[in-house]
Chains A and B, each alone.
Chain A
Amino acid sequence: MITYEWLYILSGIFFAIWALLSALDRSNGKRWGNAAFWGLLAGSFLFGSHIGDFANGVLVLALVAIAGVGRLGRSDPPTTTLEERLELSELKGNRLFIPALIVPFVAVVGTLAYNYTPLSGTGLFEPRRETLLLFAIGVLVALVVAMAWLRPPALAPAQEGRRLLDSIGWAAILPQMLAALGAVFALAGVGDIIGSLAGQVIPEGSVILTVIVYALGMAIFTMIMGNAFAAFPVMAAAIGIPLLVQAYGGNPAVIGAVGMLAGFCGTLLTPMAANFNIVPAALLELDDQNGVIKQQVWTAIPLWVCNIAIIYIGGFLLWT
């Protein structure tokens, strides 16, 4: 059976190569910082399952120390010039899109094929992990196809990957680090505290005000935690179920589904949702780290108001 552990070893090899190439890159004044950072991440992927929680924790502190004192630099491995790229894009034509489309194609079609045919009975993949495993398979297929077709220098994919990785820099591990913060928050009982605070500010007897506090709590707690998944059980247990469903008799389906979506509006507004908001700013080389969030503000706020209206109308007016 193919498990996540296989994926971690594959990723560990990728990051180890990037660490090695970083160390050899004399053009980057901070090459040892880059080598250490990506090397530690490679170590986490390759050995994290075996070294124990404390060693993993020390590894996290070391990663953060390297990034925190600014030892990560942008690299500039040799590549094609803009003029060459224009020329090559004419030469290669729309076929350039094919390798890029292989990855989502393998992930999506593979997941569907695996789940809706007798293939799922074979136990080829770890249960419920097939999409990410198929994504990795898609990456390998796309790499082989692109290498066979384009015939670049052997190190080109590693070096081009390193260029992109270094342009993302420390933001590459921010989503994973935020997930770890969420786990520590949960351990410290932050969710229960927020839930009890939210429960205390409810005005009695008003359905619409309770709906607003519920939607506001979902959005704000989502902004704090970076995703709505952490916020939902807390707000549902504090307000959604005891007040909206039980005390006021609302439709549980609407209160559940649209409450979650009110949280998603918060996701659009927070740097804590790093993989959606901060990583793309780095990938697109924006000057403003919060540039993506700023473009989302005036979609998120009106949509959040719509969600309140949908809960109130669908969950109460049409229900009773």
Chain B
Amino acid sequence: MNYWPLIGIALVVIGFALKFNPLLVVVGAAIATGLLAGLDPVSVIEALGQAFNDNRYISVTWIILPVIGLLERYGLQQRARGLIESVRGATMGKLLVIYLAFRQLTAALGMKDIGGHPQAVRPLVAPMAEAAAAKTHGDLPEDERQKVLAMSAATDNVGLFFGEDIFFAIASILLIQGVFEAAGYPMTPLQLSVWAIPTAICAFLIHSSRLMAMDRRLGRLKP
């Protein structure tokens, strides 16, 4: 077997580690991998062009930016902060635990498009988490403030990943079904998706205990 195409993977790892521009790293790795697999340069460029073109739907989601930007111009982030400041007893940890549960449950019901980073995390969840943290713990140092923002994005990811597979009509469940069926093990999507529930519960317990621990840690920072 020709192991040379693995150099492409090594290039990706090294490139990201050395913080080169990721676009440059990715395309460099793609070209190297194609050439090492024995394709000629024109075929490699064609393969890259075709794959980029076939995946244009991924970048379509940016058309939401004018809506978010326009609402931010009229104070959407400030309103999100104001809303959370008016809730008594709200802390960053509790807020994000509730968002985690909400994201897991809606994703489990097939509504994975509720939430997401441009639509929900930047304009709503992150400002709310920051306001809640500032409310209970005072103004945060910049590095702690950024950790709260990053944790908001992380919570969206965890909620989505470990909720969506409970919904049976989702691409990953259909992929599992297809792979096993081709190998002679036909199963219904529902048989598979019930087995996403134990992991979803573990994900909720692990991540929410980390959120509450972060709350306590921020509390100890207060002078």
A binds B: yes
Question: Using a CB-CB cutoff of 8 Å, which residues 178-223 of chain B contact chain A?
Answer: 179-180, 183, 185, 187, 191-196, 198-199, 202-203, 206-207, 210
Please judge, given known A-B contacts A177-B26, A257-B173, A258-B199, whether A104 and B113 are in contact too, CB under 8 Å: yes
User: In the complex, are the beta carbons of B66 and A175 less than 8 A apart?
Assistant: no
Cα A100 to Cα B126 in complex, Å, equals: 15
A264 CB within 8 Å of chain B? yes
User: In the complex, are the beta carbons of B65 and A164 less than 8 A apart?
Assistant: yes
User: In the complex, are the beta carbons of B63 and A11 less than 8 A apart?
Assistant: yes
Cα A291 to Cα B71 in complex, Å, equals: 26
Please judge, given known A-B contacts A142-B67, A224-B12, whether A193 and B27 are in contact too, CB under 8 Å: no
User: In the complex, are the beta carbons of A176 and B119 less than 8 A apart?
Assistant: no
Please judge, given known A-B contacts A44-B52, A58-B49, whether A146 and B70 are in contact too, CB under 8 Å: yes
User: In the complex, are the beta carbons of A157 and B66 less than 8 A apart?
Assistant: yes
User: In the complex, are the beta carbons of A232 and B176 less than 8 A apart?
Assistant: yes
* Dominant secondary structure at the A interface: helix
User: In the complex, are the beta carbons of B26 and A174 less than 8 A apart?
Assistant: yes
The interface size of chain A toward B, counting residues with CB under 8 Å, comes to 142
Give the shortest distance, in Å, between B139 (CB) and chain A (any CB). 15
A249 CB within 8 Å of chain B? no
User: In the complex, are the beta carbons of A296 and B30 less than 8 A apart?
Assistant: no
Give the shortest distance, in Å, between B60 (CB) and chain A (any CB). 5
- Cβ contacts under 8 Å, A310 to chain B: 195, 198-199, 202
Cα A219 to Cα B132 in complex, Å, equals: 34
User: In the complex, are the beta carbons of B3 and A299 less than 8 A apart?
Assistant: no
Give the shortest distance, in Å, between A153 (CB) and chain B (any CB). 10
**Interface pick from A2-10, A22-30, A117-125, A204-212:** A2-10
User: In the complex, are the beta carbons of B162 and A294 less than 8 A apart?
Assistant: no
Which residue of chain A has the shortest Cβ distance to B158 in the bound complex? A299
Please judge, given known A-B contacts A89-B78, A193-B3, A257-B192, whether A100 and B45 are in contact too, CB under 8 Å: no
- Cβ contacts under 8 Å, A247 to chain B: none
User: In the complex, are the beta carbons of B6 and A59 less than 8 A apart?
Assistant: no
Question: Using a CB-CB cutoff of 8 Å, which residues 14-44 of chain B contact chain A?
Answer: 16, 19, 21-24, 26-27, 29-30, 33-34, 36-37, 39, 42, 44
User: In the complex, are the beta carbons of A58 and B45 less than 8 A apart?
Assistant: yes
Shortest beta-carbon contacts, A-B, top 5: A160-B69, A89-B75, A57-B49, A56-B49, A183-B51
Q: Can you list 27 contacts pairing A with B, beta carbon distance less than 8 Å?
A: A41-B59, A57-B44, A94-B79, A96-B71, A99-B71, A139-B66, A143-B66, A143-B67, A146-B70, A161-B70, A170-B21, A184-B48, A190-B8, A229-B171, A233-B179, A253-B187, A254-B195, A258-B196, A261-B165, A261-B199, A264-B162, A264-B165, A268-B161, A275-B117, A284-B122, A291-B147, A295-B153
Give the shortest distance, in Å, between B166 (CB) and chain A (any CB). 10
- Cβ contacts under 8 Å, B67 to chain A: 99-100, 103, 139, 142-143, 146, 157
* Dominant secondary structure at the B interface: helix
- Cβ contacts under 8 Å, B55 to chain A: 176, 179-180, 183
User: In the complex, are the beta carbons of A296 and B154 less than 8 A apart?
Assistant: yes
Cα A147 to Cα B76 in complex, Å, equals: 15
User: In the complex, are the beta carbons of A132 and B49 less than 8 A apart?
Assistant: no
From the candidates B52, B60, B115, B151, name the one contacting A7 in the complex (CB within 8 A): B60
Give the shortest distance, in Å, between A173 (CB) and chain B (any CB). 6
Which residue of chain A has the shortest Cβ distance to B156 in the bound complex? A280
From the candidates A87, A171, A257, A294, name the one contacting B176 in the complex (CB within 8 A): A257
Give the shortest distance, in Å, between A19 (CB) and chain B (any CB). 13
Which residue of chain B has the shortest Cβ distance to A227 in the bound complex? B172
Give the shortest distance, in Å, between A184 (CB) and chain B (any CB). 4
- Cβ contacts under 8 Å, A287 to chain B: 146
- Cβ contacts under 8 Å, A236 to chain B: 176, 179-180, 183
B98 CB within 8 Å of chain A? no
A201 CB within 8 Å of chain B? no
User: In the complex, are the beta carbons of B66 and A158 less than 8 A apart?
Assistant: yes
Which residue of chain B has the shortest Cβ distance to A174 in the bound complex? B22
- Cβ contacts under 8 Å, A93 to chain B: 79
Give the shortest distance, in Å, between A198 (CB) and chain B (any CB). 13
